[in-house]
Amino acid sequence: QGKRMTSFASVFVTPLVDDSIEVKINPADITWDTFRSGGAGGQNVNKVETGVRLRYNYKDPDTGETREILIENTETRSQLDNRENAMRLLRSQLYDMELQRRMAEQAKIEAGKKKIEWGSQIRSYVFDDRRVKDHRTGWQTSDVNGVMDGDIDGFIKAYLMEFASNE
């Protein structure tokens, strides 16, 4: 009845995330050292090299930088058990590092979200004036019905051209 109605809608598209984290360890990147553990365990730990030191050359997938991860294990009186424990600790540490990397990526994506408020819109649909305008690129069309039916190629092309010219 002569009143203009204003409403907001927000759509945020996020990429599908692979939730499975597979830790791959190249045995060639591992160096093992053994040493006498000492401490509780009697004469065995003082005479036999039951402690293990694992050195792993980790290559960061983002920067390509290599750094060393050092893990020592003297939990048991058996060198074999200590090796297995050290490998388990390495896998756990690599898993956690990958999880942190993915969470940082997701936070970067989330930081691009805009608030749902006046002035943050990227596109206006004005049905009375038969106009749809993209505020980021300035591209507009009078084919409101076409846009509502999914014909948004013009908007995509204008955005891609704007994005390419900004780089």
| Class in CATH terms, 27-111 | alpha beta
Sorted by where each begins, the domain ranges of the chain are 27-111, 123-166
Evaluate whether 50 touches 65 at the Cβ level (below 8 Å): no
The model carries a pTM of 0.61
Average pLDDT over residues 62-91: 92
Alpha-carbon distance 132 to 75, whole Å?
Answer: 68
Least confident of 26-30, 125-129, 143-147: 125-129
Digit-coded pLDDT (tens) for 103-141: 888 888 777 777 777 777 777 777 777 888 988 888 999
Q: H/E element holding 157? A: helix 153-166
How much is the pLDDT for 18? 67
At residue 55, φ and ψ (nearest 5 deg) are: -115, 120
Task: Please state the rounded mean pLDDT for residues 71-92.
Answer: 92
pLDDT at residue 57 greater than cutoff 90: yes
